Amino acid sequence: MKRLGSVILLFLAASALFAGGSGEDQVILRVGSSGISMDAMAIFEDNIAEFEAANPGVTVQWDSSSGDDYQFAGLPALLQSDTPPDIYFEWGGARVKNHYLDGEAMDISDLAAEFKPNFSTSSWGGFEYDGAVYGLPLNQDITIQMWYNKNLFNELGLSVPTTYDEFINVCEVVKAAGKTPIVMGNADAWVAGNFIGLFLYRVAGDDKAEAIMNLEPGYSLADPDFVKALQMAYDMGKAGYVNADMNTLGYEESFIPMVNGDAAMYPLGSWYPGEIEAIGKDFTELGHDYFMLPPIPGGKGDQKSILGLNTGYMINSKTEHKELAYDFMRLMYSMDSQKRHSLEGEGNVTMIGANDTSNPVVAKMVDDLSTGGVIVAPPDTGYDLEMAFALYEAIAKVFENVATPEEALAAAEANIAHLRK
């Protein structure tokens, strides 16, 4: 699951390698992250400038050069390199736990104690293991919202659907108008995987879906409830409600149909506004908005459940600059910085009182997180990655109608059988 906006390839401070001191006494504090929106990076650049001014001889080097590849290739490569990051971005959940188990995560419980009184209690989920804290949450992300083109909805006389039947009717009306009802850039599999991931919980029930994806004994990915959830994806694909090229369309390119008015809806998370801004469009002027997926008929789970997670920054257990890393993170997580992140539309920030609720989209997200149902984890951050990708491959095949739900899930189960031994 991608986070923090569209990719801008940054390798900050390379030209300032020797600024503020000689080569011998120069200290480089390295930060690694996925691609970041220009607005968010401007905030971090201000943090860097303030930090370097207060710490002569220290240069902060921020690497987001791996962009979309950060999650599965970029970060592992950085951590194994000769110049690993001292601080790095992560998605809370199984990925943080894996860093902890692999000895790549520093226990920062003492630093976290400074922030806990000012952070929402739920924001720490996915960063705490065995009684210790291994990261500071920056955002609480809603991972699946149905972003929609309000102008197109108005043009077609459509209202926000409140039932699943109404949702399907919206798709039918949009298709009849010669537009794409739902667009996804699923070349990397996670977009559709996250979308249908929410269906898995709502159809099977939260506890059962978790047990299946945790590979607990007695459960299978080919469970009838998962088959039912994927049947809904199969039906959307068969009806022509999703773009035919969804499994080959790149992530960045997939937003063009939304801004051009050629597509009506995009199932994505709270970072969607940043993606629109990143391709040079003004999100506010476009007038896009979102609604939450309506209840699924006959579903056994919480029908107001929210697919979401906490994201933030961790400190490498192998860093030689612990105190500098602590001080820099104090700047990153200051009230001023958090307010700016919210003001720039970077999602729901974790610090109490920092969210810009004058922004109607941000206000709606804050309300949804506080009044919605249980928060459930995306398969690719809350569970074993190999299992998640087997499941995502099945979902991609089903949307494309190249396999039935039964066939696709049976293949996925066979592909992860070795994980059960």
Query: In the chain, what are the domains?
Result: 14-141+309-375 (3.40.190.10), 145-306+377-420 (3.40.190.10)
Find, among 377, 376, 218, the residue nearest to 305 by Cα: 376
Find, among 280, 240, 231, 180, the residue nearest to 406 by Cα: 231
List the 145-149 sheet strands across, edge first. 180-182, 263-268, 145-149, 288-291
Strand, helix or coil for residue 25? coil
DSSP 220: -
CA distance 120 to 275: 26
Q: What are phi and psi of 149, to 5 degrees?
A: -85, 105
> pLDDT tens string for the chain (421 positions)?
554 444 344 444 444 443 444 455 799 999 999 988 888 899 999 999 999 999 999 999 999 988 778 988 899 999 999 999 999 999 999 899 999 999 999 999 999 999 999 998 889 989 999 999 999 999 999 999 999 999 999 999 999 999 999 999 999 999 999 999 999 999 999 999 999 999 999 999 999 999 999 999 999 999 999 999 999 999 999 999 999 999 999 999 999 999 999 999 999 999 999 899 888 899 989 989 999 999 999 999 999 999 998 999 999 999 999 999 999 999 999 999 999 998 876 778 999 999 988 888 888 998 998 888 999 999 999 999 999 999 999 999 999 999 999 999 999 999 999 999 7
CA distance 73 to 89: 14
